[in-house]
Structure 1
Amino acid sequence: MGLKDDLLRGIYNYGFEKPSAIQQRAVMPIINGRDVIAQAQSGTGKTSMIALTVCQVVDTASREVQALILSPTRELASQTEKVIRTIGDFMNIQAHACIGGKSVGEDIRKLENGVHVVSGTPGRVCDMIKRRTLRTRAIKLLILDESDEMLSRGFKDQIYDVYRHLPPELQVCLISATLPHEILEMTSKFMTDPIRILVKRDELTLEGIKQFFVAVEREEWKFDTLCDLYDTLTITQAVIFCNTKRKVSSLTMLIG
């Protein structure tokens, strides 16, 4: 792929051995300056794909923002920023997460000190641009991550606002699980002759990960089923997702 040596060190240090399907297909077109529409869901390695392409195109000699990533949630924006800093550690890549819920003063201080990459939510990024704290003149790459989710959360106007403040010679990469009409409308306005990449459903799971499901008919049986899994399998570490905060709290107490 012709990646920078220090970037390769960061990639191997992060634990990568073999690129996923989305990484194999999307990295080179983005590095070569093409606009890209990547239809991919979570679990495809898209966040690390974003990180390594951003680290490759950034010029670390310039302490200006050169890449901007917009995400629908604070958690995803923060995760992306952390992966960029980890993979770009040997390159001394400076990245910052511009997200709501954090101090505006901290954002201002970080941006004034100079960063190469900003990962954020549309609302906070738009605010920082309008405050003239986030200077956009050197931005050459805009990545819209989980674009369909951003539109479903009502960020359309803010995305367009951000785009209007960016340089005319801009490379755009759009990542979305689905491509509804609003997404296609956005691509026609933001992009020039984009390459479209589709990751098929049978390629969604990263190599080495196995997926199983247990059909539990009644809510009150779920905890016992979870306990049975722990009794049956050797689980050293696990992340358990629940669909409400209340369930997280009650499960924590039960496990506690």
Structure 2
Amino acid sequence: RAIKPLIAGRDTIGQAQSGTGKTGAFTVGCLARVDPKLRATQALILAPTRELAQQITSVTKALADFLDVKCHACIGGTAVREDIEKLREGQHVVVGTPGRVFDMANKRHLRLDDLKIFVLDEADEMLSRGFKDQIYDVFRLLPSNVQV
């Protein structure tokens, strides 16, 4: 039920039990909004942990395999230089943790000018784990017309 409003460009809150396909739903929604010809970040997905960000990246890459869409995980604990290089190449979808994503966006390595959709996965957990300020910092850098 969440895919239609996501594809239509409407702000959406998806809430369901574990194992029901939320990640697949918002990933399909993101990929439907991405223009592969535009070499710019068009979808940004924040996750509370490195592990979840890597898992979302794997799902996104698997679904995007036939669409010529690039996806990269910007997470702490990895080489910043590699993130900068990958972002310079142009990534349609960026998945990451709030701290690393904010750092990359604040330093303009992650350009958000063409962003169409912003996803907070496990938003309740991120807000309760103290990421509120970091999420707000990222949110302030987003274009005003971005879908959430």
Report the TM range for the smaller structure's normalisation.
over 0.9
User: In the alignment, is the contact (CA less than 8 A) between 2:45 and 2:121 conserved in 1?
Assistant: yes
Match of 1:219 in 2: none
Matched residue of 1:36: which SS? coil
Q: CA deviation at 1:55?
A: 1.2
Match of 1:131 in 2: 107
Runs of 4+ in 1 over 3 A off after TM superposition: none
Task: Work out the number of aligned pairs and report it.
Answer: 148
User: In the alignment, is the contact (CA less than 8 A) between 2:53 and 2:75 conserved in 1?
Assistant: yes
For 2:104 and 2:93, locate their aligned partners in 1 and report how far apart those are by CA, in whole Å.
14
The answer to whether residue 27 in structure 2 is matched with residue 51 in structure 1 is yes
Q: 80, 83, 93: which one pairs with 1:107?
A: 83
For 1:126 and 1:146, locate their aligned partners in 2 and report how far apart those are by CA, in whole Å.
18
- 1:1-33 deviation line (CA, Å, top 9, x unaligned): xxxxxxxxxxxxxxxxxxxxxxxx100001001
Q: CA deviation at 1:41?
A: 3.2
Match of 2:5 in 1: 29
Match of 1:94 in 2: 70
Paired letter, 2:89: N
TM-score by length of 1: 0.57
User: In the alignment, is the contact (CA less than 8 A) between 2:57 and 2:72 conserved in 1?
Assistant: yes
- 1:153-186 deviation line (CA, Å, top 9, x unaligned): 11000100001001011110xxxxxxxxxxxxxx
Map residues 140-219 of structure 1 onto 2, 5 A cutoff.
Answer: 140-172=116-148
Match of 1:42 in 2: 18
Q: 8, 33, 38: which one pairs with 1:62?
A: 38
For 1:70 and 1:141, locate their aligned partners in 2 and report how far apart those are by CA, in whole Å.
11
Q: CA deviation at 1:51?
A: 1.6
CA radius of gyration, larger in: 1
For 1:92 and 1:71, locate their aligned partners in 2 and report how far apart those are by CA, in whole Å.
24
Paired letter, 2:59: V
Q: CA deviation at 1:137?
A: 0.2
Paired letter, 1:145: D
Matched residue of 2:45: which SS? strand
Name structure 1 gaps, 5 residues minimum.
Answer: 1-24, 173-256
User: In the alignment, is the contact (CA less than 8 A) between 2:3 and 2:29 conserved in 1?
Assistant: yes
Q: Percent same amino acid among aligned pairs?
A: 58
TM-score by length of 2: 0.97
Matched residue of 1:111: which SS? helix
Q: CA deviation at 1:58?
A: 0.3
